[in-house]
Amino acid sequence: MAARTAELKASLDQLAASLANSQALTASAADAIITSDATQTILSWNAAAERIFGYTESEALGQGLSLIIPPHYRARHEFSMGRECSADRKGRAGKALELAGLTKAGLELPIELSVSSWNGTHGKMFAAIIRDITERKRSQEEIQLAASVFTFAREGIMITDPQGTILQVNESFSRITGYSREEAVGQSPRILRSGRQDPPFYAALWRGLIENAHWSGEIWNRHKDGTVFVELLTISAVKDNQGHTRQYVALFTDITLQKQHQHQLEHIAHHDALTDLPNRTLLSDRLQQAMVRAQRQGQKLAVVFIDLDGFKTINDRYGHEIGDRFLIALAARMKQALREVDTLARMGGDEFVAVLADLIDSASSLTMLDRLLTAASQAVEVDTLVLQISASIGATFYPQAQELDADQLLRQADQAMYQAKVAGKNRYHVFDAEQDSSIRVHHESVERIRLALQQNEFVLCYQPKVNMRSGKVIGAEALVRWQHPDRALLSPAT
């Protein structure tokens, strides 16, 4: 009897210890563990359940499980519980369900519910293990969002490893480049190289990636079919917690059409609409560059002003349409008379300016001036009409003894062109810088004398005439002297 009592006591102690362990595990579990009877009345409520749902154990015990199930999920929950009641699972948990839980504050949160059942002393018993999967859902949504962006983005996306091997591409990558995912993965981005960028370009790109973890710019690449396109590219390094690069992500957009449109707008802004020659704006830029180059290389350049003789008669007699077509043909012919380094621009109407660059000396331009005269004077056929005029040309050279800007050179060439017209047209005249300087000094002196008269700077002086034998004053000479404010008293000869 004593042995039987000891054995029973040991079993009870073992049972108590097991129960204590079970309660400790339940209390410390990260998931909510809730037990209920067949009526779904809550019988136990652990600390995790209180943390997840907000109800204390005293508030939850004796309540129905519907306390923590939103109304629109209760039918699904009851169906699951009913299935557990009818199934003989012998304590095994049923399939986990994802549904929503309801907190004490009235907020819904995503949960994962697993229900197991067993036969207790007073009937069927249930244990519900509930896990808060808010973070998991958030992570899944972020992954789905990233996958959706990757799949449906209009930008091409390419992911490579740190060595540059392609790991993944999206559909827009294939649409833009022509390479399918299967063709691209495992390859190097070098399959897209167009050859338009030199090695220093790629060296700068990699230097930017290494130093700044990103690079952005325009790059020319080649389509699978061989056509070249320009893309706006951004590359970013993806780093781990230790700061090591794990992948590179490249996003790019095909901007070929935008670049073509931009080029067209720039062309329109810098070229004459009728002849497609450079306009005043582009001429000014090229003239400035040619002047800098002439100074640096110790060479000369010529600025040539061309005015067509008799073009107004063609316009008046045959109309502007014939006149425009004549101008187009004549402009093309004059351009052909020049070299590649030269520029021919239309100033407007029948006026043109040529910049003859990289001249060894002034004389080397005279042959080209003759060619321009010949090109302008040759007959042009427009429909059934044969039209012919001539040109008057003025030229000046740079550099000169005094410092000049581009506008002054143009005025000198224009002045020389006028001299060619006065001399009989169909000829050229070279601007004489020394003569012009002398003329300008003369004009400046005359203007200064006029100002001196207005300001009463001239004084009358009498110089006596003396008989040197007798010492007698026999008369006087009246002289005008200039009391110059800067140069003191100036003699009549000056």
| CA-based torsion, 270, 273, 276, 280: positive or negative | negative
Q: What is the pLDDT of residue 293?
A: 93
Structure confidence at residue 483 (pLDDT): 87
For residue 332, the one-letter residue type is A
Task: Check if the beta carbon of residue 344 is closer than 8 Å to that of residue 332.
Answer: no
- Phi then psi dihedrals of residue 301, to 5 deg: -140, 155
For residues 353 and 337, what is the distance between their CA atoms, to the nearest angstrom?
14
Beta strands in 56-104 (DSSP E): 97-102
**Secondary structure of 414-450 as H, E, C letters:** HHHHHHHHHCCCCEEEECCHHHHHHHHHHHHHHHHHH
CA angle 387, 392, 398 (to 5 degrees): 135
pLDDT of amino acid 96: 76
Angstrom distance (rounded) from CA 490 to CA 322: 64
Length of the chain: 494
CA–centroid distance for 14 within its chain: 77
Separation in Å, CA 121 to CA 37, 124, 147, 283, 320: 11, 8, 52, 104, 112
Beta-carbon contacts of residue 428 (< 8 Å; ≥ 6 apart): 304, 369, 370, 372, 373, 392, 393, 394, 395, 416, 420
pLDDT of residue 19: 44
Cβ atoms of 117 and 85 within 8 Å: the answer is yes
Q: What strands lie across the sheet with 166-169, from one edge to the other?
A: 166-169, 156-160, 245-254, 228-239, 214-222
Going residue by residue through the chain (494 aa), what tens digit of pLDDT does each one get? 556 656 655 555 554 454 445 555 555 578 888 888 888 899 889 999 999 999 998 898 988 888 888 888 777 766 666 665 555 555 555 577 888 888 998 898 888 888 888 887 777 888 888 888 888 888 777 767 766 667 777 888 899 999 889 999 988 899 999 999 899 999 999 999 998 888 899 889 888 888 888 899 999 999 999 999 999 999 999 888 888 888 999 999 999 999 888 888 888 889 999 999 999 999 999 999 999 999 999 899 999 999 999 999 999 999 999 999 999 999 999 999 999 999 999 998 999 999 999 998 888 888 999 999 999 999 999 988 999 999 999 999 999 888 889 999 999 999 999 999 999 999 999 988 665 555 555 666 788 888 889 989 899 988 899 998 888 989 998 988 888 888 888 877 77
Q: Let me know: does 393 contact 369? Beta carbons within 8 Å.
A: yes
Structure tokens at 315: 């316009």
Is the distance from CB of 377 to CB of 388 less than 8 angstroms?
Answer: yes
| Structural contact between residues 125 and 117, judged by C-beta atoms closer than 8 angstroms | yes
State the DSSP code for 274.
Answer: T
Residue entry with tokens 């993944």? 168
